[in-house]
Structure formats: C-alpha cells, structure tokens
Amino acid sequence: MRILFEMARYYAPTTIFMDEIDAIAGARGGNEHESNRRVKAELLIQMDGVAVASSASANENLGEGERMKTVVVLAATNRPWDLDDAFRRRLEKRIYIPLPSDKGRQQLFDINLKGIKIDPSVDFALL
C-alpha cells in the first residue's frame, strides 16, 4: 500500500482507483486477521498523507515548469454502509448512484443489445 502511494506521489498528478474498496476498508471487527488490520492501517495513513500533500501543493506558489503534485483517490463499492468510519471520513466527496429505474433498465438493455437478434418471448420487464 505504501509503495502504491509513493509511486502515485512520484508520478503525480495521478489517480488511484480502488474498486470494491469494502474488501480492504470494511468496518473493523474483533475477528479480523492481523494482516487485514495492517493493510487497513497503512491505507488510512497513506490517505492522510495524500490529503496533506495535496493541500500543501495547492497552496504553494509553483514556479514555471513545475506541476502540482496532486494524487486523487477514487473508490467504488456496492456496499458503502460496510466501509470503515475512519476511511469514509477521509473521502472528501461521496457520490451515491442508485439502481436504475425501470425506464433506465430498459434503455440499458436497448443500448447493450443493439443489433443483436432477441427472441420475441424475452420479457425485459421480468429481467
């Protein structure tokens, strides 16, 4: 985890995207393995470092040819309620994307099945 963030800072401006973040940043509990606690602790430390480094570089007067050292962390999950509170606090913005409506689902089927022959008995409303 530390090396990932060190590389991101070195090559900044960068974006770190973590899909299914609840797998490593889930709520802490008593039956959690020690290695999981260590990874989570290191992630929290590095997230603090990103916030400090980003705000410090944003406030500096950059000379000609210098670039702002910004590291953005994006995380996605289907279970936001399972995230650790300390991790959730370190995310500046949270965007909730709800499930699509019936009309939206039909549009997704239309877009993704365009040009594909579909049996007329397929009931998309049921799907």
Residue-wise pLDDT tens digits, 38-90: 888 899 899 887 765 555 555 455 554 445 568 999 999 998 888 988 888 88
DSSP 72: E
pLDDT more than 90, % of the chain: 42
Residue closest to 53 by CA, chosen among 16, 102, 94 = 16
Question: In the CATH scheme, what architecture does the domain 2-99 have?
Answer: 3-Layer(aba) Sandwich (3.40)
Distant-in-sequence, close-in-space partners of 44: CB < 8 Å, separation ≥ 6 = 86, 87, 90
